Structure 1
Amino acid sequence: MSSNKVVHVISHTHWDREWYMPYEAHHVKLIENMDTLLHTFANDPEYRSFYLDGQTIILEDYLQVYPEKRELLCQLSRDGKLSVGPWYVLQDEFLTSSEANVRNLQIGHKDAAAFGSLSKLGYFPDSFGNMGQAAQLLAQAGISSAVFGRGVKATGFNNKVEESSGLESPFSELHWEAPDGSRVLGILFANWYNNGMEIPVDPLLAKPYWEHRLAMAERYASTPHLLLMNGCDHQPVQTDLTAALQVARELFPEYTFIHSSFDAYIKQLQQDVPPDLSVTRGELRGQRTDGWFTLVNTASARIPIKQLNQQNQTLLEKVAEPIAAFAHQLGQPYPHALLQYAWKTLMQNHPHDSICGCSVDEVYPEMKTRFAKSMEVARSLVKERVASIAKQVDTTDFTGLGESAAPFLLFNTSGYAGAGVVTIEVELAQRFFDQSEDPVAIARHVCENSHAEGYLIDANGQPVAHTMEDLGVRFGYQLPNDRFRQPYMARTLRLTFEARELPTMGYATFAWISDRTVSTAARGAQMTSLVTSPSTLENDLLQVSIEADGSYTVLDKRSGQLFERIGIYENTGDIGNEYIFKQPNGDLPITTRGLQADIRIVEDTPYRAAIQITHRLDIPKQADERLAKEIATMVSFRERQAQRSKELATLVIQTTISLDRSGQGVRVRAVIDNPASDHRLRVLFPSGVQAAIHYADSIFEVAERQTVPAPEWENPSHCQHMQTFVDVQEENRGLVIAGKGLNEYEVLQDDLGTIAVTILRAVGELGDWGVFLTPDAQCLGRNEAEWMIIPHTGGADRFEAYRHAYQFPVPHTICQTDVQEGSLPPIHSFLAWEGTGLAFSNLKISEERGDFIARWYNLSRNSTELRILRDSPCPMYHSDILEKHRTEVSGEIIQVGGYKITTIGILA
């Protein structure tokens, strides 16, 4: 054995806030653990440091109970004993959005700095795979090294490290490179993050312990520095560590044992890493393993939770932050604190065991409450700020039309110009009242002195085709900032129409004109129906034809490409768990192919048409009785012999296919009445493309992935993660499937290049290290799913398809206003831009400088140009993920390198 080996023992605990127990049960254990840690620091001067799992929320949770200990924690942080940050929570990277990953880093940095020190380490101990752009994000944040547990070496049941061939790196140290070329030093927990836990003090036990642990560490180390992690999941502090290390020194004098920290370990490691370390590029998803323990099927566990997360993230990053930025430019204070509160509340749902859906049932009611709280804050902020913007818009062009005009603003904050069908409720004849007045009489007065006749026009005075529903007289209220609440009664109309030209990051104005004598011309130009047969919808770009079994064929008129028999549902058994899908041995899929469906037209308006398809699919009601016995006795899912039961239940799927007049894709919404357990439901999209690679929307990139797995792969399933969409393409032909909170897909290895998107997975156990039943994860009852089908012609045309996919989940924001003079025009863009191959990410206000902060990322390997279009020149500068001022932007064109994440500060 070499005499220069240094054993770095780093104390830590990996803290899942909620998992096999609900949050507060874990919280109690956290308080006890932190109390023990503080006592150990106070009484053992040789106990030098403790790593707080890379997440500042641990201290936040502790201070909920002991707020008086904040200064003590700050002192320990300043002294280097507590390593704090850089994240707020340890998130699942693939199931949280690009901007959520950034906010996590930003808030973690801010909170850690408030305690006096900041750990500059990219810490990913147990992420279920790692995002490809991690190195670029870390490098932009000034972080030069990262540690991770998964994605390179096989990790099996109960986090057991398994051997596998073809590893991306022969060492635990490697260079981890992002698609743009950014690099960090990567350190793999080759023997997991518990390889130094519970070190014996008894020499008889310590000798074999160290012989084994040192040999395993040396096996993968490329330097003399050996990393031993003294802790594990919720691991109590080892209070006798100082004595245990002294015993180790006596037993193995040829090694230097130190109670170390990551800062000290990495500093010494970087001095000794060999020049020929291997380079691992992009995503770390365990593709060179047997494929069973990548845990990718957490992407389909408890899909309703994923859907709430998508709604919450989108509301914050694509609606609340941009609209608050617009209002800030017009003089409104930017609500930094409230937005941070909303983000933190959301991110408390982002730890991997939470958002992945792999916790006990008790966790999820609290998660739903957090989602609701975060979204309520966001909606309140949006409501106030769109009202303040609307008051500054000039709507005098609507003066003198009809009896009265009710203007309203329609905001588009997706980042891309476009069209969309929207629904708005407009209030007319608003009549306020106080406590001395009779509300019944007020309501009757409003009803008798108002009507629902009229027409809709745009900002140019052109009639807009629409449908109107008179909702009658309803109660409402206002909450002025300078007086008591103001109740009122008003006649309410529900309008639905297509807004055909909405500016980028801005708004367009429309108005309902009350008029009892509405001419035909005022109702809008007559348009041909989008329904061209009882089973066919058609606009200028697309045709969708419904087959007798409810599958559909889409014709892309631009290219002439036909996508046939898509939309078939596939049902299989699932005897796995929340982590892993496992189809019973010999189980054959049950599909809707050839099953007679009920088909009827449910909407035929000038702006949209829709066909509803109802399937009644008989499937096994559950797994047979063997599954319960196998779960109870912890039979490994791979060894289970359970089958699906012979008892049948009827799975009812009601699918609505709609086509907008200006639609670039076909919209689909499915309502699933699930009466069965232990199964998976997917929808199939044969693309007609046989390609070795495909593309999936991921974190700040559209990742290029292999359709056929590596030779080491044994799992019959090859499911993968997506954020918003997946794309299969070749020259002149491509198909994008975009979803709302649908995060799991598989490109099947068939002759049709079929994309399979999971829309429901029903399982009854958590899995992993014990027996934890999860009946709520069976997702019984009503479930919903929404997706969009976007054909394209391959090549660079795919970028336009991606823009429509990115727009799909972003809602429009609507605000009614008055006929008034104002400084803003009826149609306005607060941030217009151009750039081929660029994806828009976010617009917000810098907390430090008060400037616009806008972010894009290049979807291509080729450099491209970004042009920010302003009415008048204004200073701009290059920023980074932490929103720091870097260099000034010179000229009007900003060069964006291949796969680069580009953040620009704009002085308002």
Structure 2
Amino acid sequence: MSATRVHVIPHTHWDREWYEPFQTFRLRLLGTVETVLAMLEDDPRFVFTFDGQTAAIEDYLELRPEEEPRVRALVREGRLLIGPWRILADEFLPSGETLVRNFETGWAVAERLGGAMPVGYLPDMFGHVAQMPQILARAGLSDAVVWRGVPRAIEHHAFRWSAPDGSSVRAEYLVDGYGHAAHLLRVEDRLAVDVQRFQERRAGFMPEGHLLMLHGADHTAPPTDLPQRIRKADAQLDDVTVECSTLPAYLQAVRDQGPLPTWHGELRSGARANVLMGVTSTRVDIKVLAGRAERALERYAEPLATVLGDTWPGEELASAWARLIENAAHDSSARARTTKPWPRWVCGTRRRRRSVRSSPRSGWPDPPPRPRSTARWRGTRRPRPAPTRSGSTCPRTGCVPAHSPPATARWSACRWSPTTRRCCSTGKPPPRRR
């Protein structure tokens, strides 16, 4: 019988805001990243996975821009793994477009820093949408790592996860979560015992000859002597190899393990892990505000910017998307966090909604002058054509209600004074929207 390979995955799970506000967690993030960088530079065999996202590294580099060369070198060597997501987003509250942009921007940031981890890491989302395998497959990824939402029908460490369009990925199931080995390898005299007992508990569930140990937890840095503990545990055990590894290396090692069970559609079961259904109805007022900002950006600002004006407002739209993606984090969008940052979040969301609603107007060409003629046809003013656009994702037909100022009103791009909200000519307020 071949020796069992124990893959120890040092990592951390970093919620940008949760039981503490964002800035409080960012101060803690500085020390965590500096510890990780020092450990990686001191031991060339040590590797670290930074939660499958790039937002935390971006937050660190915003305050420590001089450290980017160190980060870039370690990412390029494949020893500091970041991405492919920009944020670990909730999958049910944001739109599908937001999920796709989350991947696109995260992958771009990771590539700029040296390369993205080629694994769809989904450790703490409150369930998973049916289209997630489709998104990952279209992005060129063949593996996902999931925890919450897997039904009891799955009795194996891995399964084939299929989307409605037929796309599928291999899903690795973290049956006890992303921190199931965080408490192990902490007492030097019990290193071998910890590994043996962990192996016994996973017997029959993990693949033959391999054992996955995710060593990490929320907002924590790895112990500075973790590499030494891993080597000592390896020396104390016979027929067991303990090594510091990464998720891509582990998934490659267990890929050829025979046929896998298949699951079609979303993962929304609470059989083995709480999917926190109640977060869907918390602070509905803020969820409505976030949805309006999201629709204003993806249904109006970007489509209208393609046909209005001569320049593409790329920087403005990219900034708006970046903020919306940050707000789509699973704890932020679900409101599963302290109330301290809510006023800042609400004000920021309102500002972003105003900015995306006004971005197409900035490129709107000056309209032609209003004709001076007051010619009538059969006793009525001649109708003037007006372009319209539906914000719906489905085709629509029918009458479009429109409000226009009186014929004597001065023609302007906005029709109504932006400061007084009164007609430029009559001084009357515009019609109330229905």
Q: Normalised by the size of structure 2, how large is the TM-score?
A: 0.89
Matches within 5 A, 1:96-115: 96-115=94-113
For the 8 Å contact 2:234–2:243, the answer to whether it is kept is: no
Q: CA separation of 1:422/1:259 partners in 2, compared to 1, >3 Å: closer, same or farther?
A: farther
- Taking the aligned partners of 1:209 and 1:296, their CA distance within structure 2 comes to 34
- Taking the aligned partners of 1:368 and 1:317, their CA distance within structure 2 comes to 19
CA drift of 1:400 comes to: 3.4
- Taking the aligned partners of 1:79 and 1:489, their CA distance within structure 2 comes to 66
Q: Which residue of 1 aligns with 2:298?
A: 317
Q: Note the aligned Cα RMSD (angstroms).
A: 3.0
Q: Secondary structure at the match of 2:73?
A: helix
Q: Which residue of 2 aligns with 1:725?
A: none
- Taking the aligned partners of 1:412 and 1:286, their CA distance within structure 2 comes to 37
Q: CA separation of 1:189/1:476 partners in 2, compared to 1, >3 Å: closer, same or farther?
A: closer
Matches within 5 A, 1:102-501: 102-152=100-150, 167-200=152-185, 202-270=187-255, 272-275=256-259, 277-286=260-269, 289=271, 293-327=274-308, 332-385=310-363, 387-388=364-365, 391=367, 400-401=375-376, 409-415=387-393, 416-419=395-398, 422=401, 424=403, 426=405, 429-430=409-410, 476=418, 491-495=427-431
Q: Secondary structure at the match of 2:306?
A: helix
Q: CA separation of 1:174/1:120 partners in 2, compared to 1, >3 Å: closer, same or farther?
A: same
Cα displacement string for residues 633-681 of structure 1 (whole angstroms, at most 9, x for unaligned residues): xxxxxxxxxxxxxxxxxxxxxxxxxxxxxxxxxxxxxxxxxxxxxxxxx
- Taking the aligned partners of 1:249 and 1:265, their CA distance within structure 2 comes to 17
- Taking the aligned partners of 2:174 and 2:411, their CA distance within structure 1 comes to 67
Structure 1 residues without counterparts, runs of 5 or longer = 154-166, 433-472, 479-487, 498-607, 609-908
The residue type paired with residue 197 of structure 1 is: A
The residue type paired with residue 391 of structure 1 is: P
Q: CA separation of 1:13/1:391 partners in 2, compared to 1, >3 Å: closer, same or farther?
A: same
For the 8 Å contact 1:9–1:257, the answer to whether it is kept is: yes
For the 8 Å contact 1:422–1:496, the answer to whether it is kept is: no
CA drift of 1:116 comes to: 1.5
The residue type paired with residue 262 of structure 1 is: L
- Taking the aligned partners of 2:385 and 2:266, their CA distance within structure 1 comes to 49
- Taking the aligned partners of 1:190 and 1:152, their CA distance within structure 2 comes to 9
- Taking the aligned partners of 1:309 and 1:420, their CA distance within structure 2 comes to 29
The residue type paired with residue 300 of structure 2 is: V
Q: CA separation of 1:397/1:177 partners in 2, compared to 1, >3 Å: closer, same or farther?
A: farther
For the 8 Å contact 1:63–1:69, the answer to whether it is kept is: yes
CA drift of 1:274 comes to: 1.4
Q: Secondary structure at the match of 1:10?
A: strand
Matches within 5 A, 1:506-545: none
Matches within 5 A, 1:776-791: none
Q: CA separation of 1:263/1:121 partners in 2, compared to 1, >3 Å: closer, same or farther?
A: same
CA drift of 1:429 comes to: 3.9
Q: CA separation of 1:400/1:101 partners in 2, compared to 1, >3 Å: closer, same or farther?
A: same
CA drift of 1:430 comes to: 4.2
For the 8 Å contact 2:207–2:254, the answer to whether it is kept is: no
CA drift of 1:345 comes to: 0.6
Q: Which residue of 2 aligns with 1:751?
A: none
Name the structure with the higher helix share. 2
Cα displacement string for residues 377-402 of structure 1 (whole angstroms, at most 9, x for unaligned residues): 202212224x33x738x987987358
> How many pairs align?
425
Q: Which residue of 2 aligns with 1:511?
A: none
Cα displacement string for residues 205-236 of structure 1 (whole angstroms, at most 9, x for unaligned residues): 32332222222333411342211111011122
The residue type paired with residue 322 of structure 1 is: P
CA drift of 1:406 comes to: 8.4
- Taking the aligned partners of 2:332 and 2:373, their CA distance within structure 1 comes to 51
Q: Secondary structure at the match of 1:147?
A: strand
Q: CA separation of 1:237/1:409 partners in 2, compared to 1, >3 Å: closer, same or farther?
A: same
Matches within 5 A, 1:634-783: none
For the 8 Å contact 2:8–2:244, the answer to whether it is kept is: yes
For the 8 Å contact 1:6–1:258, the answer to whether it is kept is: yes
Structure 2 residues without counterparts, runs of 5 or longer = none
Q: Secondary structure at the match of 1:108?
A: helix
Cα displacement string for residues 562-614 of structure 1 (whole angstroms, at most 9, x for unaligned residues): xxxxxxxxxxxxxxxxxxxxxxxxxxxxxxxxxxxxxxxxxxxxxx9xxxxxx
Q: Which has the higher contact order (CA 8 A, sep 6+)?
A: 2
Identity %: 30
- Taking the aligned partners of 2:374 and 2:3, their CA distance within structure 1 comes to 86
Q: Which residue of 2 aligns with 1:50?
A: 48
For the 8 Å contact 1:56–1:111, the answer to whether it is kept is: yes
CA drift of 1:43 comes to: 1.9
- Taking the aligned partners of 2:360 and 2:183, their CA distance within structure 1 comes to 51
Matches within 5 A, 1:769-848: none
Q: CA separation of 1:312/1:259 partners in 2, compared to 1, >3 Å: closer, same or farther?
A: same
- Taking the aligned partners of 2:292 and 2:87, their CA distance within structure 1 comes to 20
Q: CA separation of 1:396/1:195 partners in 2, compared to 1, >3 Å: closer, same or farther?
A: same
Q: Secondary structure at the match of 2:336?
A: coil
- Taking the aligned partners of 2:283 and 2:432, their CA distance within structure 1 comes to 32
Name the structure with the higher strand share. 1
Q: Secondary structure at the match of 2:121?
A: strand
